[in-house]
Amino acid sequence: MGRLKMRSLCLSTLGLLVACAGSELEPTTGLLDMGTSPPLDSGQHTQDAIATNADLGLDAGLNDPDSSLDGAADIGSTDSTMRPTLPDAGASADVAPGVNPCSVDNGGCDANARCEGSPDGVICICNPGFVGDGQRCERLGDCADNNGGCGPVDRFLCIPQPGAEPTCRAFTLADLWSGDARFSLDDAQDQIAWNGFHFLSTLWDAGTLYAYSITNYSADGIGRSAVGLAVSEDGETFDGRGVVLDIGGAWQWTFEAADDEHHQVGRAEEDGWAAGVDAGDPAYLAFGPYARLPAGPMTVSFQLMVDVIDAGDDVVVTLDIFDATAEQILATRDVTRHEFGAPFEYRFFNMDYVQEEGHVLEYRVFWHRRSYVRLGVRAVSQGTAPFPDQRLASFPGVWKEGDTWYLVYECAGLTERWPGDVCLSTSSDGLTWIKAPSNPILVHQPNSWEENNIGTPSLWVENGTWYLYYHGFDGQSVQIGLASGPSLNALQRHPQNPLLRVGEDAWDAGTVGKRSIIREGAWFYMAYEGSSRQAFNPNSASPDCQADRSPNNPNCIDFGGANWSTGLARSPDLINWTKFPQNPVLPSTMRSFGYDGAEFIRTPDTLLHLYYRAPAPNNQTKRATLKRAP
């Protein structure tokens, strides 16, 4: 009686059985197809423990830039703990010629294995739901029952584990690139927040999602755009916090005269503090308020009125800005009666100064007893006229580094000097923002691909280098450029600009613009808005168009009836970007804005979404979710 030869099969990364490597094993004559097995993954996401981004298997399973669903540890690993081996010869049974060797003790195979044998030998194959070398088979975690408890099968992968509960993970952008996932519109999802909640830049901090967006309003008949804030705990319900960064010249600190206790003469009256000629000797109508403001250039506005304007042109008050720390007057001016346009009507008088770090300031009004005078408010705004962001301080890009929050934004003034540039503000809490004295930190370049304006900035920090991405507009096309450096005050444009360009006769032939960036594994991913030609009308930024943007002024229509959508690109180094071959990833509009301004947001359930502006008529904010491809 001859000794039987045994052959074992290993499970490949494709879920197919193949002969194991090794000099002791004979090659098999064919493959036994058991179907594609779900990959193992290092991410830990169960119903009882939500995975963090780092736990999604992104660092381990996606370190190979080309990995996708099979990028994590595979159940067909060739590790010795998983590879089938030939049983010890002494363990095999002697079988009479012509007798099926599997009829004796299952051919030496595990009880949870199938033995396939002939007089020449046996093959041990673990049964479905088990994994091993055939001589020893361990039960896989059951993914067939309710997707292993991972959640909806279209949103989560269930990954079997030998002898343990399965693990779970959400779909990744690597899955999308490989064709295993796609972004699907959440048609059942109600509108996110409110109309106008658009062009988001978001950041999770201590379990709260900070979502900065554009906030549009009109002042003096001219459209203005600022930065608003909303917060959320789940990415679905948002609580508005109002405007947190306003246009240049807007008041940031206001001191009501009637509420201030710092007076030498006068009395509270209606909406201010007033003194008539019979109130007493000349003295300070107001001093204080002993404000300690951030360092940098400031503008103080004094709100004043008088009762008579057609008498002699006397000096009625003297205004000054007094540095109480340095005991020094920084600025002073006299105000005369004829500078008022009408009796009992407020007028503003502005003064500039430079605030020193940590110094305490007074904004004083000295009354000369020559007229009735009422003081309403004293208000302070950052910067000095002409403000580079007096028309537009919006389209934010937020980043937090250490304890400091950074917000770059598109800034534009009321004159042709400031058609659109990039400005910076910082914060210690994400709520109160201080504009950089050096604004703008990046200025458009004439006679170039960005000669008309730049804007919609976004930030990334990697290995101590700041990356500032922005759009550039030359009057025809919008494209994406990069400026980088060791700080936001030492930026250099990249010589390859624009890094991401418009396509040739493609869906994004007119615009490659506002973007959102995340990292998964070894890849950086960018979602960007795109449009067909021609996306924008360069005349729309002119003062005449700002004053009249009605349909009766066709030269000022803001866009040329382009089709808009969102596409993806990825890069291994933040410089060399490759567009997704199946762009766009959202539907396209027909001659209107929409499906644009997209922002990546990963919600606490680990699902990845694109929040976008929906098409007209309402342009509501909605989202698409990364799901299993059909």
The pLDDT > 70 percentage for the chain reads 80
Cα–Cα dist 607/610, whole Å:
10
Domain boundary among 108, 141, 171: 171
Same domain, yes or no: 235 and 277: no
d(CA 388, CA 418) in angstroms, rounded, equals: 6
Q: How confident is the model at residue 44 (pLDDT cuts 50, 70, 90)?
A: very low
Residues 543 and 617 in one domain: yes
More confident residue, 26 or 475: 475
On whether both 216 and 261 belong to a single domain, the answer is no
Last residue of a domain, one of 136, 171, 206: 171
Question: Does 159 share its domain with 135?
Answer: yes
**Residue 613's domain spans which residues?**
182-249+386-628
pTM, 2 dp? 0.74
590 and 448 assigned to the same domain: yes
182: Cβ contacts below 8 Å, ≥ 6 apart: 176, 585, 626, 627, 629
Nearest Cα to Cα of residue 301 among 321, 315, 271, 283: 321
Q: What is the domain-level CATH number for residue 507?
A: 2.115.10.20
Tokens at 260, concatenated: 């201030």
Summarize pLDDT for 295-340 with one digit per residue, the tens: 999 999 999 999 999 999 999 999 999 999 999 999 999 999 999 9
Alpha-carbon gap, residue 437 to 426, rounded angstroms: 11
Average pLDDT, the chain: 83
What is the mean predicted confidence (pLDDT) over 504-510?
A: 94
Asked whether residue 234 falls in the same domain as residue 265, the answer is no
Contact 586, 598 (CB under 8 A): yes
Residue 453 lies in a domain: yes
DSSP state letter for 94: P
Tell me the per-residue pLDDT of 447-501, one tens digit each, with 9 for 90 and over: 999 999 999 999 999 999 999 999 999 988 999 999 999 999 999 999 999 999 9
Mean pLDDT over residues 120-124, rounded? 84
pLDDT digits (tens, 9 = 90+) for 558-616: 555 789 999 999 999 999 999 999 999 999 998 788 999 999 999 999 999 999 999 87
Distances (CA, A) of 408 to 423, 455, 464: 6, 9, 18
In degrees, to the nearest 5, what angle opens at C-alpha 50 toward C-alphas 48 and 56? 130
Give the pLDDT mean for 517-544: 83
Q: What is the pLDDT of residue 543?
A: 66
Whether 92 has a pLDDT exceeding 50, the answer reads no
Same domain, yes or no: 595 and 461: yes
Q: What pLDDT was estimated at residue 592? A: 84
- The reply to whether 158 falls in a domain is yes
Instruction: Kindly report, residue by residue over 423-448, the tens digit of the pLDDT.
Output: 999 999 999 999 999 999 999 999 99
In a domain, 177, yes or no: no
Quick check: is 327 in a domain?
yes
**Smallest Cα–Cα separation from 199: which of 388, 390, 391, 397?**
397
Q: Indicate which CATH number applies to the domain containing 360.
A: 2.60.120.260
Give yes or no: residues 24 and 37 share one domain.
yes
pLDDT band at residue 242 using 50, 70 and 90 as cut-offs: very high
Residue 1 falls inside a structural domain: no
In this structure, are 150 and 166 located in the same domain? Answer: yes
Same domain, yes or no: 397 and 505: yes
For the ranges 73-77, 380-384, 396-400, 468-472, which has the lowest average pLDDT?
73-77
In a domain, 432, yes or no: yes
- If one counts the domains in the chain, the total is 3
Is residue 176, in this structure, part of any structural domain at all? Answer: no
Same domain, 404 and 535: yes
Q: Which of 327, 352, 382 finishes a domain?
A: 382
Q: Are residues 167 and 26 in the same domain?
A: yes
